[in-house]
Amino acid sequence: MKWMTHLTCWFSLFGLFSFGSALAESPIANSSPSQPIPLTLKTSGPWKIIESPNFRCWSQLPEAEARQLTESCEAWRSRLRTAWITEADRADWSPKCEVYVHANQPAYNQTLRRPGDASVGSTSMNFDQGRTVYRRIDVRADASDWSNAALPHELTHVVLGERFGGHALPRWADEGIAMLSESAEKHRERLENFQGVLTTRTTFKISDLVTTKGMPAPHLRDAFYGQSLALSSLLVRKSTPAKFADFIEESIRIGHDQALKNHYSLNGVTALQQEWNDWVKQPQSVSFVSLPIQVGKTPAVAAMLE
């Protein structure tokens, strides 16, 4: 039996922390589905554990917010699978995705055994021959935008794990796709940072960006994350999110050059670089795709977003 541990991003960018009594006022995204979701509540010590068909959410939030959190996870799961999985089956996730909402950084770091880690969200998954056998998200409720930026970002990684059957995505695409789900406010913050990078001409060459592995050094992160989100946006705009995922899948097998020809009629990474250069000549013209808006155009998801 082959097991693979797939530890994805540590969502931690741009000083988004707001220390204080964020637990009591954390805004859970209002994304209740049109159909009521069956929820059960248990408690274990300080934890409220709310179970839905696909999630087991552990938090110390007030009960109403804990329920809203779980409903929000279900809504995001549907939304993300609609976007990224062409023929998503309707089966529930088994095992369920565990979601832990930690009260603060010390609790988060202690649980994950990462002393000093300043991230606010992380995802881990295990796969057995392409099937997900473990899904887990940890987020920090003392970050101001944990529920509408970090949580959908991490949920995207979980859905991508399902879509790609445990095969590692190129780093730029894994993070670029995850960032498409973040809030408009988070996008504004990232865009401001990235336009600064464009102005100082410190972006990656596309050939370097698409082959970057692991976490870039701290001084390169604004460039890496901003450019990954921008490049994902550029390619998603050419067709659909699901077709972008097909392109990424093929690029893993046959390389970016041939996959760009097959999916976007571009003559490899060189042509993509040229198109990129034209786009970013005016940093003000760069913008990001917002996935909730993009997929909100389909009737089923639009109804869910109302």
Q: Where do contacts with Zn ion occur on this chain (CB under 5 A)?
A: 9, 175, 178
Considering the complex, what minimum distance in angstroms separates the CB of residue 178 from Zn ion? 4
Considering the complex, what minimum distance in angstroms separates the CB of residue 186 from Zn ion? 12
| Parallel, antiparallel or unpaired: strands 131-140 and 97-102 | parallel
Considering the complex, what minimum distance in angstroms separates the CB of residue 301 from Zn ion? 22
C-beta closer to Zn ion: residue 74 or 175: 175
C-beta closer to Zn ion: residue 178 or 197: 178
Buried b (16+ CB within 10 A) or exposed e, 48-64: bbbebebbbbbbebeee
Considering the complex, what minimum distance in angstroms separates the CB of residue 21 from Zn ion? 27
Considering the complex, what minimum distance in angstroms separates the CB of residue 157 from Zn ion? 6
Considering the complex, what minimum distance in angstroms separates the CB of residue 132 from Zn ion? 17
C-beta closer to Zn ion: residue 9 or 304: 9
Residue 65 CA to residue 59 CA, distance in Å, equals 9
DSSP states along 188-220: HHHHHHHHHHHHTT-PPPHHHHTT--SPPPGGG
With CB atoms as reference, the residue minimizing the distance to Zn ion is 9
C-beta closer to Zn ion: residue 12 or 144: 12
Residue 264 CA to residue 113 CA, distance in Å, equals 43
Considering the complex, what minimum distance in angstroms separates the CB of residue 48 from Zn ion? 26
C-beta closer to Zn ion: residue 68 or 156: 156
List the end-to-end C-alpha distance of the chain, in Å, as a whole number.
Answer: 44
C-beta closer to Zn ion: residue 9 or 229: 9
Residue 163 CA to residue 193 CA, distance in Å, equals 30
DSSP states along 113-161: T-TT---SEEEEEEEETTEEEEEEEEEETTBTTIIIIIHHHHHHHHHHH
Return the structure tokens found at 240. Answer: 């659909």
Q: Which of 235, 232, 291 is nearest to 265 (CA)?
A: 235
| Parallel, antiparallel or unpaired: strands 3-11 and 121-128 | antiparallel
C-beta closer to Zn ion: residue 214 or 299: 214
| Parallel, antiparallel or unpaired: strands 55-59 and 47-51 | antiparallel
C-beta closer to Zn ion: residue 66 or 149: 149
DSSP states along 284-300: GG-----HHHHHTTSHH
- HSE-CB at 193 with a 13 A cutoff on CA atoms is 22
Considering the complex, what minimum distance in angstroms separates the CB of residue 5 from Zn ion? 16
